[in-house]
Amino acid sequence: MQKSQPNNIRKVALTSLAGTSIEWYDFFLYGTAAAIIFPKAFFPADMPAMVALIASFSTFAVGFLARPLGGIIFGHFGDRVGRKQTLVIALLIMGASTTLIGFLPTYETIGYLAPLILVLLRFVQGLAIGGQWGGAMLLVTESAPPEKRGWYGAYAQAGAPIGVILANLAFLGVSGGLSEEAFMDWGWRIPFIASILLIFVSLYVQLNLEDTEAFKKLAASQTQDMSAGKVVKRSPIIEVLSRHPGRIFLAAGAFLSIQVTFYILIAFIMAYGVNSPSVMLSRDTMLTSVLIAAVIMVPAQFWAAGLSDRIGRKRVYLWGAVLSGIWAFALFPLVDTGNVYIVTGAISLGLIFVGMQYGPQAAFFTELFSTEVRYSGASLGYQIGAILGGALAPTIAVMLWNTYGVVYVSVYMALAAVATIICVSLLTETSGNQLD
């Protein structure tokens, strides 16, 4: 038995990593396309370029608006029927909606129906990602040894930067083998259609993984209560909102710096690097810079998550937020040099500081809530933070840059870091908590 447990948690962790990587690939694929393809493909040709970019990033935001709703729906069933089944459904929905975007006719073909359908599919993506994170994260953290919960939780979190890597590699691979005209005409669709692979990952999860011991104990306890004639508790969502409203919103606030900084560094920075007169780098160069930075973010997350097992979640998280706020003011002066190596280094350091927060987050949020409301509570905190921080981050950044100058984008990032520092400081340290 002692040998099977490490093998089992590694299997769960690697499966979670694979699922979340492809799921986030689907979600971030849209962000990259919103910066460089959708303004031309899904909006009128005579629309001013900056207006089309803002409109495109606004459709990107729709996915975030759906994420809390996805967190509520999937959180309810995740706490009632299990982590695994809920995750499988979320993976299937994401794979289907992203593949359909790859087949969507452009504005030139069906007019305003094109952006409307695009918004609908983006909304469905948001529902799926709202449910996926809680399921994948809890499968790992509830199965991990308490002393390594942060480390193993980082496997679920690593799906985000790996998703960025996969999305950028997909676009680089397709654009490198096609002319610009062919890429904009049909080549961009290939990475979206490739998302059908997520369906096979969901089947693997369904057939090869069991639910967590924490949930099995909860289910057995609930079955005993029902057999004894005890009243079943209210909906997990209502239960967690009535018992832990402050904890949910502090968790959401703790996510602000991660969301604002991350989406500026992977989405807005693309548009800025290609369109700013002081930078004017090519699309492929910016894709490569973000890709390299995302690669560096992965080990940074694991390092930070492992460190949080030893010195506590809050301390690592707070240092990441402080450094993110400071680095915001160095980021754009370095990008404005137009030097590829300096640009890549600037984005990389920014994502390392994000990783210091995002790495320990899975264990931190898991330990904030009890088993019967954990999926709902952690998902709500995460997804409310996502909508407040990430939904409009690229759009707000474009508007600030266009109206006041890029230094105000740095101020925006710093304010998000300050909000996170306050919220994390008000939460209790959770490292070492027993999940039961």
- Please say if the pLDDT value at position 4 is more than 80: no
Q: Which residues contact 178 (CB under 8 A, 6 or more apart)?
A: 187
With 0-12 / 13-18 / 19 or more C-beta atoms within 10 angstroms meaning exposed / middle / buried, residue 219 is middle
Q: What is the CATH number of domain 4-425?
A: 1.20.1250.20
pLDDT, one tens digit per residue, over 50-66 is 788 888 878 877 887 88
Give 141-178 as a DSSP string. Answer: HTTS-GGGHHHHHHHHHTHHHHHHHHHHHHHHHHHHTS
pLDDT, one tens digit per residue, over 252-298 is 999 999 999 999 998 899 889 988 888 888 888 998 999 999 999 99
Distances (CA, A) of 5 to 1, 12, 272, 431: 6, 10, 48, 21
What is the percent of the chain where pLDDT is above 70? 92
pLDDT band at 89 (very low <50, low <70, confident <90, very high): confident
- Tokens 């998000």: give the residue: 416
Burial 305-314 (b: 16+ CB within 10 A, else e): bbbbbeebbb
pLDDT, one tens digit per residue, over 154-167 is 998 998 899 888 88
Higher-scoring residue by pLDDT: 316, 267: 316
With 0-12 / 13-18 / 19 or more C-beta atoms within 10 angstroms meaning exposed / middle / buried, residue 200 is exposed
Please state, in angstroms and rounded to a whole number, the distance separating the CA atoms of residues 314 and 429.
6
**Closest listed residue to residue 59, CA positions, set 28, 30, 93, 26:** 30
Tokens for 145, please give them.
Answer: 């040894």
Question: What integer best gives the mean pLDDT of the chain?
Answer: 86
Q: What is the pLDDT of residue 436?
A: 64
Give the global pTM. Answer: 0.84
Q: What is the mean pLDDT of residues 70-91?
A: 80
Q: What is the mean pLDDT of residues 320-328?
A: 97
How many of the other CB atoms lie within 10 Å of CB of 204?
A: 14
Q: What is the pLDDT of residue 221?
A: 64
Instruction: Measure the N-to-C terminal CA separation of the chain; round to a whole number of Å.
Output: 21
pLDDT, one tens digit per residue, over 345-393 is 999 999 999 999 999 999 999 898 887 788 888 888 988 898 888 878 8
Mean pLDDT is lowest, of 3-12, 59-68, 223-232, for: 223-232
Please state, in angstroms and rounded to a whole number, the distance separating the CA atoms of residues 175 and 284.
8
Tokens for 169, please give them.
Answer: 């590699």
